[in-house]
Chains A and B, each alone.
Chain A
Amino acid sequence: MISIKNISKHYGSFQVLTDCSAEVEKGEVIVICGPSGSGKSTLIKCVNGLEPFQQGELVVNGISVGAPKTNLAKLRAHVGMVFQNFELFPHMSIVDNLCIAQIKVLGRSREEAVERGLKLLDRVGLSAQAEKFPGQLSGGQQQRVAIARALAMDPTCMLFDEPTSALDPEMVNEVLDVMVGLAQEGMTMMVVTHEMGFARNVASRVIFMDQGRIVEDASKDDFFGTPRSERAQQFLSKILQH
């Protein structure tokens, strides 16, 4: 479903990604972890073309992301993305946040979009907040709305870029719960996160990155059991210490 082949990217002389390759099958949940600055976020932003790359090939649903002829907007409409800072549209009510892209991008009628939006809002447990504005919601609630907004587009896969990093600790779980639910329903997901509990719970595979390279791509049991690379062992021992 997502095929990443030998992707390299640099800003000027600074190499961000070096020769990254990975395959994601339908229904897989891939957790990407690694120290900050290792290129995790850049890699998943390449998947929907938010970050351009210079070398390699990236194919999503049979469409090549890097090809100049590709209609990126069309591709992105079916690849959901959730950001670290939620990025809800602050000048619109929650229900409008959920509907705007359905109407303007997918061409749905307003009634259809509202119905779909409210259904998903209910799913993330926030039906009561439909008429509020993003600024009136807590971080955890905003992130759940952001997930619902992405799901409203009926995505074939979902990308999560550190979805819980900007949250207060007590709000992390409400967001993770929604994500676990999605994973159990068979949604194809690529998740950049440091939440190792989430990885242990639902990941199919764990990708470990360091300095722009994919150092390890292993099943979760292998990764948490006996990571092959020294760098991954160090990383795990540091974040699992407490």
Chain B
Amino acid sequence: MYEFDWSSIPGALPYLWIGMVMTLKITVVAIIAGIVWGTLLALMRMSPIKVLSWFGAGYVNLFRSIPLVMVLLWFFLIVPSLLVSLFDIPRSYDTRLISAMVAFSLFEAAYYSEIIRAGIRSVSKGQMGAANALGMSYAQAMRLIILPQAFRNMVPLLLTQGIILFQDTSLVYVSSLADFFGTAYLVGSRDGRLVELLLFSGAVYFIISFSASQLVKHFQKRTSL
């Protein structure tokens, strides 16, 4: 029978906290950048200009058809050398965090764009007509009238996607970037207590994700009233 020994966890908490900050940084950046880029992709996809709508559709289909972990790996291999050659950054500079943020943002944008496209569709067509009839341009109507309503309808879905993203950030272990999961793994290996550390980090992911999704549900109930 395996004997649990949790004694290495208290001493590791400061390191784990640093890892959690890293995880949250990637999550928040990817959510914000993903929503902004995703909105642009959704608008491109709905554009009457063929080139734009093809690009939007192609982008979304491409990113939704390849595993996230591969996208991450490619970016860890490509982005560092690109940054070094573009901005004259010393080779020793750690670009792993940046490339993780870029990869997650680009990947999540594909998913966000589909949510946002559905959100824009959920706004009645007459709203665009009314905005145009008042003399607003397409861009003004989108920005002032359509998107605010679309985002209001989409908030629960966007947050749920954010929670999934929060869990997916653990995939950065492929670059041995010390996020929360990576740090737990390192500490566990060092002390020979891998099982305990993985159980502990799993519990932390569960508590955060579960409370966040309960919050979303609560929010959803309030807005649907």
Contact = CB atoms under 8 A, between A and B. Distances in A.
Nearest to B143: A104
B95 interface: no
B110 to A, nearest CB: 27
B134 A91 contact: no
A74 interface: yes
A90 B145 CA distance: 9
A67 interface: no
A77 B129 CA distance: 13
A183 B1 CA distance: 91
B215 interface: no
A91 B146 CA distance: 10
Interface of A: 48, 50, 72-74, 76-81, 83, 85, 87-91, 100-101, 104-106, 149-150, 153
Contacts of B152: 91
Nearest to A103: B144
A104 B140 CA distance: 8
Given A83-B126, A85-B126, A104-B140, A76 B148 contact: no
Q: Which of B132, B135, B152 has the most CB of A within 10 A?
A: B135
A240 B49 CA distance: 49
B137 interface: yes
A73 B149 contact: no
B149 A149 contact: no
Contact of B126 (A87, A100, A106): A87
Given A101-B135, A104-B140, A91 B130 contact: no
B127 interface: yes
Contact of B129 (A73, A87, A149, A150): A87
A73 B134 CA distance: 8
Given A83-B126, A87-B127, A73 B148 contact: no
A91 B152 CA distance: 9
Contacts of A73: 132, 135-137
B148 A77 contact: no
B133 interface: yes
Please list the 9 inter-chain residue pairs (A to B) with the smallest Cβ-Cβ separation, ordered nearest first.
A77-B135, A87-B130, A101-B134, A81-B133, A105-B135, A87-B126, A76-B135, A73-B135, A73-B137
B149 A153 contact: no
17 contacts: A50-B132, A73-B135, A73-B136, A74-B135, A76-B132, A78-B135, A83-B126, A83-B130, A87-B124, A87-B126, A87-B127, A89-B127, A91-B149, A100-B134, A104-B144, A105-B135, A149-B134
A74 B136 CA distance: 8
A72 B135 CA distance: 8
A73 to B, nearest CB: 5
Interface string B121-159: 000101101111111110010001100110010000000
A50 B129 contact: yes
Q: Which of B126, B129, B149 has the most CB of A within 10 A?
A: B129
Given A83-B130, A104-B140, A91 B148 contact: yes
B73 to A, nearest CB: 42
Given A85-B126, A89-B127, A91-B148, A105 B133 contact: no
Contacts of A74: 135
Contacts of A91: 148-149, 152
A48 B127 contact: no
Nearest to A90: B149
Contacts of B136: 73, 101, 104-105
Contacts of A80: 133
Given A50-B129, A85-B124, A101-B135, 9 more contacts: A73-B132, A76-B133, A89-B149, A91-B149, A101-B131, A105-B134, A105-B135, A150-B133, A153-B135
Nearest to A72: B132
